Structure 1
Amino acid sequence: MEIEIATIGGYEEVGRQMTAVRAGDDIVIFDMGLNLSKVLIHDNLQTESMHSLDLIDMGAIPDDRIMSELSGEVKAIVPTHGHLDHIGAIPKLAHRYDAPIVGAPFTIALVEDQIQDENKFTVNNDLVTMEAGETMSIGDHTELEFVNVTHSIIDAINPVLHTPEGAIVYGLDKRIDHTPVIGDPIDMDRFREIGRDGVLCYIEDCTNANKKGRTPSEAVAREQLQDVMHSLEDFDGGIVATTFSSHIARVSSIVEFARDIGREPVLLGRSMEQYSGTAERMGAISMPDVDMYGHRQSVDRAFERIMNEGKENFLPVVTGHQGEPRAMLTRMGRGETSYDLEQGDKVIFSARVIPEPTNVGQRYQSETLLGMQGARIYDDVHVSGHLSQEGHYEMLDALQPENVIPAHQDMKGFSGYVDLAASQGYKVGRDLHVTTNGNVIQLVE
């Protein structure tokens, strides 16, 4: 069976992930993501009303025109998890393919929200949910399997396409976490079984490939957060926390520790309400009596209530950990809300800066504005959702793939993974395929 892999997006940057695998006449697309930095650099850009070709030209979504070079039929579009760099282009591109969108339940719920917000295109693809551990047939000779992984969002999976030539393992995004705060541990036993059966190709997320050691468990971040927040139990000023809205485990920990120190948590921001509200409706978490506000007027009224009743009684959990211009924390730093930041107030960043110039600059500006108002910054109370070098070593050891394709980085970001793979016997140009966007790699002729 002929096997081809089209590396469409996410092979020159962190973002806009999209990869297509052709096995015979059947094609499966993994991820359709957005490059957020290309959007955030523009002021007040409304992508919902934009044409896909304009977004392709500005580098915001994958250029899927290379799909015309693959001779087959797309049978499924498979997002690995609900982060926008993996699902954000679905409303712009999915309608081009007569194929269902297949994902884990939380991911599909977020995809549905994305489609409903779309103003330019009508997306009528069937939405199909599949749990980790389940499989479905793709054509007559291939099978799709979801393997449970741990990441900084719930319901993350690594899809595996089983073909007569061996398995194609799409390894974006994960960390090896045996003690997650929410959900099951990563299923390393299943990865080892797949490795013993034979892996033709492993496509791997290289976000932290240049970092030595092992990425800690979310349980470690929870302990760090508990230590910081409990140390502020006797503080009688304002405390504000920010984290990834999609990081349900982290948000739930902040909510819990806010109550431990006698403060009422309030979730503020559109994405904060969207992710946590969806997770609660689906039963993934339970946060009874936690107020969530997403619309601007509702958020402004919540800030007024906090100031009227005493900010020492509340702990707002807000968007803006990357310094996004329209996010709640950035507005607070600019003095555009009624929340009065004063000398000594605490701002907890339970997130690291995504290492991309736009984010780094925006985060610097946000922290500077907060500091000018007297806020004290608690930075990087966080662990990454991505593998570091020892995790990459463990995955290669478990899967023993015939071919490896680094993804989710630029050439500089690939370097650590290339060195690691080379130390394990892989060779660039032979079985280690360092590629860019818009290429097709033929693994089996």
Structure 2
Amino acid sequence: MDIEIATIGGYEEVGRQMTAVRAGDDIVIFDMGLNLSKVLIHDNIQTEGMHSLDLIDMGAIPDDRVMSDLEGDVQAIVPTHGHLDHIGAISKLGHRYDAPVVATPFTCELVEEEVDDEQKFGFDNEIIRMDAGETMSIGDSGQVELEFVNVTHSIIQAINPVLHTPEGAVVYGLDKRMDHTPVIGDPIDMDRFREIGREGNGVLCYIEDCTNANKKGRTPSENVAREHLRDTLYSMEDYDGGIVATTFASHIARVTSLVEFAREIGREPILLGRSMEKYSGTAKRMGVDFPSDVDMVGYRRSIDQTLERIMNDGKENFLPVVTGHQGEPRALLTRMARGETPYQLDNGDKVLFSARVIPEPTNEGQRYQSEKLLGMQGARVYSDIHVSGHLCQEGHYEMLDALQPQHIIPAHQDLKGFSGYVDLASNQGYTLGRDIHVTTNGNIIQLV
């Protein structure tokens, strides 16, 4: 059976992930994402009303024209999890393919919200919910099967999809960390990865997220970030001024920790910002282990009214959890830093960034500016109370040992970011150009 891999997006940058695997006459697309930094550098861009061709020209979504070079039918679009760099282009490109979106329930909910917001294109693809540990047949041949393997990441219900073919398995390894004690959900299923590496024809190809491939050591568990956060907030228990926190709105485990610890130090947590309301509200509706009585406010006028109430009632009684961890220009924390909200920062007030900067120049510049503006208002900034959602080198070593793939394709970085992974794989007996395939967007790699 012919096996081809089309590397469509995310092979020259962090963002706009999209990969297609052809097995015989059947094609499965993994991820269809947005590069948000390409949007944020433009002022007041609203992607919902934009045409896909304009977004492709901006470098914001994948250029999927290479799909016309794959001879077969797309049978499924499979996002690995609900981050925008993996689902943000489905509303723009998904309608081009007569195929269902197959994802875990939380990811499906987020895809549906993206599609509902879309203003330019209609979307009538079926959306199929599939849990980690389940499988489904792909195409009519009966020879290709899709499996979801549970992984841990900085969002709930993340999976690594595996396409089982007669030539071996293709494992799509974006995005994960090796967390055996997660705060929410099940640990990464390393037993299943080891089984896949040793059953049948083994693993034909492993496509791997290289975000932290240049970093030595092991990525810590989310429990480490939780204890760091607990220690930081407990140190502020006697402070009688303002405390503001920000984190990834999609990081439900981190948000729940913030809510819990805010209450433990005697403050009322309030989630502020559209994406905070979106992700936490979705988790709450789905019955995820999320506090049922926390206020969530998403729209600007309501947010400003809430901030006025906080100032009137005494900001020492509250802990707002707000958007803006990357310094996004229109996010709430950035507006606070510019003095554009009713919330007044005073000398000594605490601002906690429970998030690291996404390694991309736009984000780095915006975050730097946000922290400097907060400092100019007198705030004390606590940076990087966080653990990454991506594997460092020892995690990559363990995955290679578990899967023992015949071929490796580094992804989710640029060429510089691939270098640490190429070195690591080379030390395990792989050879660049033979079975390590460093590639760029828009290429097709024929494996069989």
SS of corresponding position for 1:441: strand
2:110 is aligned to 110
**Residues 1:35 and 2:39 are matched in the alignment:** no
Whole-Å separation in 2 of the counterparts to 1:299 and 1:72? 49
**Matches of 2:5 and 2:125, distance apart in 1:** 23
Contact 2:284 2:292 in 1 (8 A): no
Structure 2 residue matching 1:315: 3-state secondary structure: strand
1:71 aligns with 2:71: yes
* 1:346 counterpart (334, 345, 350): 350
1:205 aligns with 2:209: yes
Q: How does 1:292-331 map to 2 (within 5 A)?
A: 292-331=296-335
For 1:287 and 1:171, the matched residues in 2 are separated by: 31
Matches within 5 A, 1:110-259: 110-139=110-139, 140=141, 141-197=143-199, 198-259=202-263
* 1:335 match: 339
Q: Give the match's secondary structure for 1:358.
A: helix
Name the amino acid aligned to 1:194. Answer: I
Structure 1 letter corresponding to 2:175: D
For 1:96-121, what per-residue CA distance to the aligned partner results, in whole angstroms no more than 9, with x for missing partners? 00000000000000000000000000
Partner of 2:420: 416
Q: CA RMSD in A?
A: 0.4
Question: For 2:189 and 2:237, how far apart are their aligned partners in 1?
Answer: 38
> Which residue of 1 is the match for residue 61 of structure 2?
61
Task: Report the equivalent of 1:84.
Answer: 84
Which of 376, 386, 390 is the matching residue for 1:386?
Answer: 390
Q: Which residue of 2 aligns with 1:269?
A: 273
TM-score, normalising length: structure 1: 0.99
3-state DSSP class of the match of 1:33? Answer: coil
User: d(CA) in 2 for partners of 1:305 and 1:165?
Assistant: 63
User: Which residue number corresponds to residue 437 of structure 1?
Assistant: 441
Matched, 1:94 2:85: no
Q: Provide the rounded CA distance (Å) in 1 between the counterparts of 2:152 and 2:261.
A: 23
> Residue 12 of structure 2 aligns to a residue in which SS?
coil
CA distance in 1, matches of 2:189, 2:213: 21
Amino acid across the alignment from 2:173:
G
Give the match for residue 366 of structure 2: 362
The CA distance in 1 between the partners of 2:150 and 2:19, in whole Å, is: 20
Matches of 1:286 and 1:145 in 2, distance apart? 28
1:288, distance to aligned residue in structure 2 (A): 2.2
For 1:300, what is the secondary structure of its paired residue? helix
Amino acid at match of 1:155: Q
Tell me how far 1:437 sits from its aligned partner.
Answer: 0.2
Question: What aligned pairs does 1:47-58 form with structure 2 within 5 A after superposition?
Answer: 47-58=47-58
Rounded Cα–Cα distance in structure 2 between residues aligned with 1:368 and 1:106:
36
Q: CA deviation at 1:355?
A: 1.1
SS at match of 1:170: strand
Q: Distance in 1 between matches of 2:404 and 2:216?
A: 21
> Percent identity among equivalent residues?
81
Q: CA deviation at 1:285?
A: 2.2
Task: Work out the CA distance in 2 between the residues paired with 1:397 and 1:347.
Answer: 41
Identify unmatched segments of 5+ residues in structure 2: none
Q: Which of 404, 407, 413 matches 2:408?
A: 404
Q: Deviations over 1:368-408 (max 9, x none)?
A: 11000000001100000000000000000000000000000
Distance, in Å, in 1 between the alignment partners of 2:136 and 2:121 is: 28
After superposition, the C-alpha distances for 1:226-282 in whole angstroms (9 at most, x for unaligned) are 000011000000000000000000000000000000000000000000000000100
1:239 and 1:351 map into 2 onto residues whose CA distance is 16
- What is the deviation of 1:144? 0.2
**1: distance between equivalents of 2:297 and 2:234?**
25
* Runs ≥4 residues deviating over 4 A: none
- 1: distance between equivalents of 2:330 and 2:25? 45
CA distance in 2 between counterparts of 1:285 and 1:373 reads 36
CA distance in 1, matches of 2:250, 2:290: 15
In structure 2, what is the equivalent of residue 289 of structure 1?
Answer: 293
How far did 1:43 drift? Answer: 0.7
Q: How many residues align?
A: 444
Give the SS at the match of 1:250.
Answer: helix
Is the partner of 2:409 in helix, strand or coil? strand
Give me the whole-angstrom Cα distance separating, in 2, the residues matched to 1:303 and 1:289: 18
- Give secondary structure in 2 for the equivalent of 1:223: helix
Secondary structure at 1:433's aligned position in 2?
coil
- Paired with 1:275 and 1:285, the residues of 2 have a C-alpha distance of 13
- TM-score, structure 2 length as denominator? 0.99
Within 1, Cα distance between the matches of 2:287 and 2:154?
18
Q: Give unmatched runs, 5+ long, in structure 1.
A: none
| Alpha-carbon distance in structure 2 between the residues aligned to 1:274 and 1:302 | 17
Alpha-carbon shift at residue 346 of structure 1 (Å):
0.1
How far is 1:225 from its partner?
0.1
- Partners of 2:80 and 2:174 within 8 A in 1: yes
Q: How far apart are 1:289 and its partner, in Å?
A: 1.6
Cα-to-partner distance string for 1:18-53 (whole Å, 9 max, x where unaligned): 000000000000000000110010111010000000
Amino acid at match of 1:263: R
- For the Cα contact (< 8 Å) 2:153–2:390, is it kept in 1? yes
